[in-house]
């Protein structure tokens, strides 16, 4: 066991705090999204470090000053990587979100393979690596997150900076026939081999990566079985693992049980006249299958008219990447679809689809999860999908049903007790909905109890520990809590 590692350093595109200009004043807000939700509770009180972009591109802004209060409250240090608007365009909107995001989600026709996006991605990765080199020491474990930063280990090494590095990919890794379309496929896969550990959400993602590696770098030898395997590159070795990310189960469960949240959940049910609630919660993204889901609801109401007036579909969509054309079009498409379905079926006293386009405060989101009879989670492709797990954690009475896309990473863990569907098959989704709406209470309890057990056991702390065990033979508890560290330093 390594004895010298002192700090856990997280590196991601965005810091867990976002700077926003409101009424001419800069404010700091806690960030949203899967990664922050997952890692904030992990670094808290451990004196760790988080390195990322703040979301502001104003060169005169005192970013560090603005973040100081947030950092003190959060219990870990934040360091920013300053990016110009051009860099944000090329590296973030361009390479990350118009090439890697669609390609890795099997939607290659949406990719815009502009060479200048690639060059900007490399420049920004170099910039990040410079900050990582400056703000860390060889005693730190540097844990890099996601597809924006796949060149970190490569650049650290090219600068002669020695760090123990782990990389976790939050999105799927595609099979070779899709990955091979990337013009910079060889350089990208080579860069990934420079990490000491590369983690994926599922075994299938890990297999896809190993398959691409074999094709592009035939000298690579993959050996071993189980969750983590070794890759021998001749001159060096590194490891690959599958680590399905999760949520802080107790935090969601306990909140859902709080009397005021339970009251809020009751109010939601009451407002919908105690009809069955089918719930969708997503970032507004084309990978989440929201239009297909609304069409499935339309199919449900057409095929099973007995459900008219007896169910409500509530879709909560958090605004995301609003500057990108594809996302603007998607928003319009969804709004039109909601209007069409409501126009077709509504009658006085009943509107089938309730659509909210906004980020909900945490408590309100939990109340919606607790109120819902069915969690309808149907992404076209998803690395994991934390919403599926959050829904289970909030079904505290065990009386809920999870319908889950077979193309979400979460399906690998939850397939036994979730009702799996193909999100492209609108008749299949409608049939699944009709069937589970007729399940008796015993059936619902049986499946949901097992789903909850699975998420409770394989929670976010289990995920961090399994990654750290694979990376450095350590668990989270081995990183000293902040008071102990201060004491030791005198």
- What residue ranges bind ligand ADQ (CB under 6 A)? 32-35, 37-38, 170-171, 245, 281-283, 316, 318, 359-360, 365, 382-387, 390
User: Could you identify the residue written with the tokens 């390479």?
Assistant: 95
Closest CA relative to residue 368, chosen from 453, 452, 286, 252: 252
Q: Which of 170, 248, 282, 417 is an active site residue? A: 170
The CB-of-411 to ligand ADQ minimum distance in angstroms stands at 12
Q: Phi, psi (5° rounding) for residue 316? A: -110, 120
Q: Which residues pair with 283 in a beta bridge?
A: 318
As to burial, measured by CB atoms within 10 angstroms (0-12 exposed, 13-18 middle, 19+ buried), residue 217 is: middle
φ/ψ of 322, rounded to 5, equals: -65, -20
Please report how close the Cβ of residue 386 comes to ligand ADQ at its closest, in angstroms: 3
Question: Is 69 a known active-site residue?
Answer: no
Q: Give which of 298, 199, 229, 252 is closest to 37, Cα–Cα.
A: 252
Q: Which of 63, 54, 45 is nearest to 8 (CA)?
A: 45
The answer to whether residue 232 is catalytic is no
Q: Which is nearer to ligand ADQ, 37 or 80 (CB)?
A: 37
Nearer to ligand ADQ, 16 or 47 (CB): 16
Q: How far is the CB of 202 from ligand ADQ (least distance, A)?
A: 10
Instruction: Work out whether the CA dihedral 230, 231, 236, 238 comes out positive or negative.
Output: negative
Cβ-based nearer residue to ligand ADQ, 47 or 172: 172
Nearer to ligand ADQ, 47 or 280 (CB): 280
Residue number with the shortest CB distance to ligand ADQ? 34
Q: How far is the CB of 470 from ligand ADQ (least distance, A)?
A: 17
- In angstroms, what is the minimal distance from the CB of 463 to ligand ADQ? 9
Tokens of residue 8, six digits: 């856990």
- Name which of 229, 149, 234 is nearest 197 in CA terms: 229
Shortest Å, Cβ 306 to ligand ADQ: 31
Instruction: Check: CB of residue 279 under 8 Å from CB of residue 314.
Output: yes
User: Which run of H or E residues covers position 242?
Assistant: strand 237-242
Q: Which long-range contacts (CB under 8 A, 24 or more apart) does 109-115 make?
A: 110/286, 110/326, 111/181, 113/182, 113/183, 115/183
The two three-digit tokens of residue 183, written as one number:
């013009």
C-beta of 190 vs 359, nearer to ligand ADQ: 359
418: left (phi over 0), alpha (psi -120 to 50) or beta: beta
Catalytic residue, chosen from 140, 196, 282, 382, is 382
Nearer to ligand ADQ among residue 292 and residue 382 (C-beta): 382
Least separation in angstroms between residue 388's CB and ligand ADQ is 8
For ligand ADQ, the closer of residues 125 and 385 by Cβ is: 385
Active site residues: 170, 382
């Amino acid at each position: 066991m390594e004895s010298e590692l002192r700090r856990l350093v997280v590196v991601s595109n965005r810091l867990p705090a976002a700077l926003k200009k409101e009424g001419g004043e800069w404010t700091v807000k806690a960030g949203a999204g899967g990664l922050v939700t997952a890692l904030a509770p992990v670094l808290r009180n451990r004196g760790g470090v988080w390195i990322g972009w703040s979301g502001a591109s104003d060169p005169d802004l005192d970013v560090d000053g603005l973040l100081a209060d947030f950092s003190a409250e959060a219990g870990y240090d934040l360091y920013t990587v300053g990016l110009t608007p051009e860099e944000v365009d090329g590296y973030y909107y361009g390479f990350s979100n118009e090439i890697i995001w669609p390609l890795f989600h099997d939607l290659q026709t949406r990719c815009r393979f502009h060479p200048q996006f690639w060059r900007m991605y490399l420049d920004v990765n170099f910039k990040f690596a410079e900050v990582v080199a400056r703000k860390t020491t060889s005693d730190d474990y540097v844990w890099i997150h996601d597809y924006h930063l796949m060149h970190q280990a490569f650049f650290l090494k090219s600068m002669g900076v020695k760090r123990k590095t782990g990389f976790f990919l939050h999105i799927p890794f595609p099979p070779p026939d899709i990955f091979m379309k990337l013009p910079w496929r060889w350089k990208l896969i080579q860069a990934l081999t420079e990490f000491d550990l590369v983690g994926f959400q599922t075994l299938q993602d890990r297999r896809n990566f190993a398959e691409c590696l074999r094709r592009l770098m035939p000298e690579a030898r993959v050996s071993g079985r189980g969750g983590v395997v070794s890759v021998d590159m001749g001159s060096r070795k590194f490891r690959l693992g599958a680590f399905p990310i999760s949520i802080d189960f107790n935090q969601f469960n306990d909140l859902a049980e709080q009397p005021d949240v339970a009251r809020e959940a009751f109010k939601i049910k009451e407002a919908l006249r105690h009809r069955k609630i089918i719930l969708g919660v997503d970032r507004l993204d084309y990978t989440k299958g929201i239009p297909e889901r609304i069409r499935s609801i339309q199919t449900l109401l057409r095929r099973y008219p007995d459900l008219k007036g007896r169910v409500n579909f509530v879709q909560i969509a958090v605004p995301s990447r609003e500057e990108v054309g594809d996302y603007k079009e998607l928003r319009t498409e969804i709004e039109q679809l909601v209007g069409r379905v409501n126009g077709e079926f509504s009658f006085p006293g009943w509107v089938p689809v309730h659509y909210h386009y906004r980020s909900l405060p945490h408590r309100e989101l939990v109340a919606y999860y607790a109120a819902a009879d069915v969690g309808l989670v149907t992404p076209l492709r998803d690395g994991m999908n934390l919403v599926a797990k959050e829904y289970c954690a909030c079904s505290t009475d065990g009386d809920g049903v999870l319908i889950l896309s077979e193309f979400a990473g979460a399906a690998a863990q939850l397939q036994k007790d979730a009702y799996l569907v193909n999100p492209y098959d609108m008749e299949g989704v409608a049939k699944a909905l009709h069937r589970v709406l007729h399940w008796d209470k015993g059936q619902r309890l049986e499946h949901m109890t097992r789903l909850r057990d699975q998420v409770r056991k394989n929670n976010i702390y289990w995920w961090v520990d399994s990654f750290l065990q694979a990376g450095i033979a350590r668990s989270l508890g081995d990183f000293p809590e902040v008071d102990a560290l201060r004491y030791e330093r005198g």
